[in-house]
Amino acid sequence: MIEELRKKAEELLRSDTVKVVFGYGEGSTPERTRPVFITKPEDVNKLTWNKYCVYNLTTYLKRQETRKLGKPAIIVKGCDAKTIIVLLKECQIKREDVYVLGVTCDGVGEPLATKCKACDVNTPRIYDDLVGEKIENKEIPFDERYAELDEYEKLSEKEKWDFWQKQFAKCIKCYACSSICPLCFCDRCIVDKNQPQWIDPSAHPRGNLSWNVTRAYHLAGRCINCEECQRVCPVDIPLNLLNKKLAKETEKNFKYRSGYNIDDELAMSTYKEEDNQDFFK
Amino acid sequence: MGKKIGVFVCHCGTNISATVDVEKVAEEAKKNNPGVAYTTTYKYMCSDPGQKLLRDKIKEEGLDGVVVAACSPKMHEHTFRNAAVKTGLNPYHVEISNLREQCSWVHPDKPTGTEKSIDLVRMMTEKTRKDRSLTPIKVPVTKRALVIGGGIAGIQAALDIADGGHEVIMVEREASIGGHMAQLSETFPTLDCSQCIMTPKMVELAQHDNIKLYTWSEIEAVDGYIGNFDVKIRKKARSVDLDLCTGCSSCWQVCPCKKIKSEFDMGLGNRTAIYIPFPQAIPSKPVIDRENCILFKDARKKNIPPNDSKVCRKCIDACPIAPVKAIDYSQEDEIVTEKVGAIIVATGFKELDDTSMYGEYGGGKYKDVITGLQFERLASASGPTEGKIERPSDGKEPEIVVFIQCVGSRDPAKGCSYCSKTCCMYTAKHTMLYKHKVHDGHAFVFYIDIRCAGKDYEEFSQRAIEEEGATYLRGRVSRIYKKGDKLVVLGADTLTGSVVEIEADMVVLASAMKAQDDAEKFAQKLSIQYNKDKFFSEMHPKLKPVESSSAAILLAGTCQGPKDIPETVAQAGAAASKVLALLSADELEREPVVAKVDRLPPPVFSTCIGCFYCQRVCPYGAIEEEDIKARDGSVIKTVARVNEGLCQGCGLCAATCRSKSVELAGFNDEQVYAEINSVEFN
């Protein structure tokens, strides 16, 4: 499969279909991989593919430095491909400006990443070309897909509040979560706005709460649960728990799964008559 | 230097001062707040001396910010801003703190009311500190008007505007204008023939040089804003060429489908498949009912173009127009676009026709239980019986007729909670029409109350009782059942406390006036508000009774609520006068409270990232895409831009924007932030 990947990359570069290939390369130890940006056909041997290719390369679609490299081909797993769909829907990329090189995947991480435990996108739902043997995507029931929330949802309101207070107290406002997030693409984040200063930038509990809650809300109905924020958090805040909870509420109330179908209207900006309106009292 | 703010607390008679200690509110506004230079209270701030006080103090104290703590800004924001303008202060430095609707009226006791008022005034003081001067936006005006609906309301409004010298587009969805008024026999309280006063107006409209009429047409979409609307009109396929047709009647005389229930006759008479709704129709040219025409039915069944069907071509064969026939089976819907500056909505009402929910009245099963409009058709000289009162079941002249008022009206359990307003009068009229035609007949009326408040109305209903001998019984009917060819009406007479049983030949239900079935969808198309009964809402129940919630869209007639003809005509005239005022200016001024997407120096250009969530949530279609280009013409960034003409200042875009790149003038981030921060949470 690695060979096939390299061959495809080489073809794309040689034919000048793309200027750069975003992919995974070998890391400093065998259990690590790192992102590589291949611009010359002769460099394609730097590409690799294994179960340690955990992270979501689509974050490089938003960055000015990597955008400058020209039209990319990007290697995406089924989960990462969901970002492509959201970015298209939110007008951040044009379909013709990115070549999606999908890879089939039966799980990454050692031990297996949480996001892979109830995976129903082993084969990406959007791609220009597919590498690897096609895997029939399973249908996984709603409850099973959100199983990681079971313990959390058993907590009382007060316990939840205390839990997050404790978690957010650790936050050092390094903003790694938003830097890595492929869907946190604003040129100027709300946290950088200082007239008025909506979010206190110091690592004070009040500012920590408003930052983390705002970040989660800004991803509500959008997050595709790639878990990158949680992976990069240096103080181990279970950020994906918040994201996943909001995704679950979105699906429950609006029958919408972010990044799942290119034809679905975005949940957070589309009015439908059949929307749940029970909250009007 | 900070602003010098004046706080004026209004007693509103005792509306505010009964539950709010206004003196304390004024005192507290000053405390620990060096920016507040002056505070006072006054019994009626909106009165002339109140406004003078405001003007005088702005000048004397040199105020450059004003908070009026009074009623809702919807009520008097305009008043106080106008007063401030006279002193030279920019009106957008005047803010209203709503101590009435949001405080004194909803809180029962003085301590809470006062405490909350102090907070509300402090919030508004802090906002005022951040207020910036704004200048009204000028927009050009297209000097044409659109009238939707060709009933009496639409006709009156269109004629008034056209007589005022402006072009009018009228759109009517039926094949003829005339609406419900054309269906009526006689009208109260004068008993003059409805057709006799209606048809001349219809003719006048059709012949007016300034009026362009679209019948058998519907509004597809309305885009644009005050002074500049783009209206898409769907001209439904009539299957008849209006220019060629002379209305000679040859076609409908030969049409073999003669048993189609006539909508105009409320199902009491029949019509053909190619038909004009009534003899006085305008235009007096037919339409083919494609649902019922056997040629179209055949074409649908065989899935062939209608022109290829050979089942029946009688109408086209009979058409004497040559060489091109006036009938065209292959005609298709056509969309036309018209530009107008103002819109009058006069889409009318629908009679409650679902009598099946009244199981006690036979549930729609008995032929001789008819509705008010059906009775109008029976009594009308142009109706199916040519004005003879005959019962629908066997054509017998009814000797006893029972009229039941408030069917559907004033019945929150099954029908509508409101009073339909016209039924008391038309029932009185019905009894008279009946008695005039059946001299020895008996008319009984069951009523809850008799509500005949109008000029000469009370006298009219008294005449029905005293001179025409109608028997009025105060009470409800509990049941109607069939006994032979009679209808037994069981009711109560609550004035004598007795049970009444009448063996009637016919029963007339004074059915409620309801909003049109598609009123809700239509309102959404026009972005105007409607109430729980789907009647369109006026901007203010007292002071802006003909304005809708959207600028330059006016309401006339029963689409806004039940009303009779005189009231409808008056409202139509009022709406027309508003339109004439609007079209008399070359440019319109509008509130500068609009959203704006930020623009910054390069290399950022705008913090907008172009996700266009704002565009998707905007109910007015006011967000456009703008390419920011480099000198060589290449696109650097595609960002959102607000069309000021379309923006209504609702703020949804600002609330949706994650990067806070959109701000609403007059409600910008700093103002809102200052308001929130001034509240002490405990």
pLDDT digits (tens, 9 = 90+) for B432-461: 999 999 999 999 999 999 999 999 999 999
Among A111, A131, A151, which residue terminates a domain? A131
B residues 427..446 contacting A (CB < 8 A)? none
Among B100, B129, B158, which residue terminates a domain? B129
The CATH number of the domain holding residue B619 is 3.30.70.3270
Contact B610 A270 (CB under 8 A): no
- Residue B551 is predicted with a pLDDT of 85
Same domain, B125 and B31: yes
In a domain, A277, yes or no: no
Average pLDDT along chain B: 94
In a domain, A189, yes or no: yes
Question: Which residue on chain B is closest to A199 by alpha carbon?
Answer: B673
Same domain, A170 and A75: no
Same domain, B278 and B407: no
- Residue B682 is predicted with a pLDDT of 52
Q: Annotate A115-148 with b (16+ C-beta within 10 A) or e (fewer).
A: bbeebbbbbbbbbeebbbeeeeeeeeeeeebbeb
Contact B578, B554 (CB under 8 A): yes
* Count of beta carbons in the 10 Å neighbourhood of residue B390: 16
Same domain, B432 and B484: yes
**B604 in A contact zone (CB under 8 Å):** yes
In a domain, A279, yes or no: no
Contact B607 A187 (CB under 8 A): yes
When pLDDT is averaged across residues B113-129 and rounded to a whole number, the result is 95
Same domain, A215 and A116: no
Residue B411 belongs to what domain range? 349-514
Residues contacting residue B306 through CB under 8 Å, at least 6 positions apart: B295, B296, B299, B329, B330
Most B CBs within 10 A among A68, A87, A91, A222, hence the mutation to make, goes to A91
Of A185, A186, A269, the CB nearest to B656: A269
- Residue B505 is predicted with a pLDDT of 96
Of B616, B638, B670, the CB nearest to A266: B616
Same domain, A179 and A85: no
Contact A187 B659 (CB under 8 A): yes
Same domain, A122 and A169: no
Question: Which residue on chain B is closest to A220 by alpha carbon?
Answer: B658
In a domain, B152, yes or no: no
Same domain, A214 and A233: yes
Q: Annotate B596-612 with b (16+ C-beta within 10 A) or e (fewer).
A: bbbeeeeeebbbbbbbb
The CATH number of the domain holding residue B122 is 3.40.50
In a domain, B463, yes or no: yes
Retrieve residue B599's tokens: 């623009």
Same domain, B356 and B436: yes
User: Is residue B1 pLDDT above 70, yes or no?
Assistant: no
- Residue A99 is predicted with a pLDDT of 97
Same domain, B638 and B497: no
In a domain, B47, yes or no: yes
Cα(B264)–Cα(B312) distance, integer angstroms: 25
Most A CBs within 10 A among B600, B659, B675, hence the mutation to make, goes to B659
In a domain, B71, yes or no: yes
Same domain, B473 and B356: yes
Residue with tokens 């189609």, as numbered in its chain: B260
Among B499, B514, B529, which residue terminates a domain? B514
User: Is residue B615 pLDDT above 80, yes or no?
Assistant: yes
- Residue A37 is predicted with a pLDDT of 97
Contact A118, A140 (CB under 8 A): yes
Count structural domains, chain B.
4
- Residue A281 is predicted with a pLDDT of 59
CA angle B297, B299, B304 (to 5 degrees): 160
Cα(B313)–Cα(B317) distance, integer angstroms: 6
In a domain, A248, yes or no: yes
Of B32-36, B85-89, B128-132, B651-655, minimum mean pLDDT range: B32-36
Low-confidence residues of chain A, pLDDT below 50? none
Count structural domains, chain A.
2
Among A107, A131, A155, which residue terminates a domain? A131
**B658 in A contact zone (CB under 8 Å):** yes
Cα(B325)–Cα(B318) distance, integer angstroms: 9
Retrieve residue B289's tokens: 């009912």
**Cα→Cα distances B580→B159, B476, B483, B588, Å:** 12, 47, 59, 13
Same domain, A81 and A47: yes
Most B CBs within 10 A among A89, A186, A200, hence the mutation to make, goes to A186
Contact A92 B610 (CB under 8 A): yes
In a domain, B552, yes or no: no
Cα(B451)–Cα(B474) distance, integer angstroms: 13
In a domain, A220, yes or no: yes
Distance from CA of A275 to the nearest CA of B (A): 15
**B656 in A contact zone (CB under 8 Å):** yes
Q: Is A129 helix (H, G, I), strand (E, B) or coil?
A: strand
Neighboring chain B residues of A92 at a CB cutoff of 8 Å:
609-611
In a domain, B339, yes or no: no
- Residue B235 is predicted with a pLDDT of 97
Same domain, A157 and A55: no
Neighboring chain B residues of A268 at a CB cutoff of 8 Å:
613, 656
In a domain, A274, yes or no: no
Same domain, A179 and A93: no
- Residue A280 is predicted with a pLDDT of 66
Same domain, B434 and B483: yes
Cα(A261)–Cα(B345) distance, integer angstroms: 40
Dihedral Cα A83, A263, A126, A66, nearest 10 deg: -40
**B638 in A contact zone (CB under 8 Å):** yes
Question: Which residue on chain A is closest to B615 by alpha carbon?
Answer: A269
- Residue B363 is predicted with a pLDDT of 74
Same domain, A147 and A125: no
Of B604, B616, B670, the CB nearest to A269: B616
Of B609, B638, B660, the CB nearest to A193: B660
Among B462, B487, B514, which residue terminates a domain? B514
Same domain, B366 and B300: no
Cα(B146)–Cα(B526) distance, integer angstroms: 13
When pLDDT is averaged across residues B391-397 and rounded to a whole number, the result is 94
Neighboring chain B residues of A185 at a CB cutoff of 8 Å:
609, 611
Same domain, A108 and A178: no
Same domain, A153 and A201: yes
Its pTM stands at 0.72
Same domain, B472 and B366: yes
Neighboring chain A residues of B659 at a CB cutoff of 8 Å:
186-190
In a domain, B259, yes or no: yes
pLDDT band at B590 (very low <50, low <70, confident <90, very high): confident
Distance from CA of B598 to the nearest CA of A (A): 12
Same domain, B354 and B300: no
Of B30-39, B232-241, B466-475, B572-581, minimum mean pLDDT range: B30-39
Of B607, B617, B674, the CB nearest to A269: B617
Among A99, A131, A163, which residue terminates a domain? A131
In a domain, B187, yes or no: no
* Count of beta carbons in the 10 Å neighbourhood of residue B498: 12
Same domain, A102 and A202: no
Contact A189 B659 (CB under 8 A): yes
In a domain, A146, yes or no: yes
Contact A90 B611 (CB under 8 A): yes
Of B611, B617, B669, the CB nearest to A196: B669
Same domain, B306 and B392: no
User: Is residue B356 pLDDT above 90, yes or no?
Assistant: no
User: Is residue B585 pLDDT above 60, yes or no?
Assistant: yes
In a domain, A281, yes or no: no
Beta bridge partners of B169: B146, B212
- Residue B644 is predicted with a pLDDT of 86
Same domain, B455 and B354: yes
Residue A118 belongs to what domain range? 2-131
Neighboring chain B residues of A193 at a CB cutoff of 8 Å:
660, 669
Cα(A236)–Cα(A246) distance, integer angstroms: 19
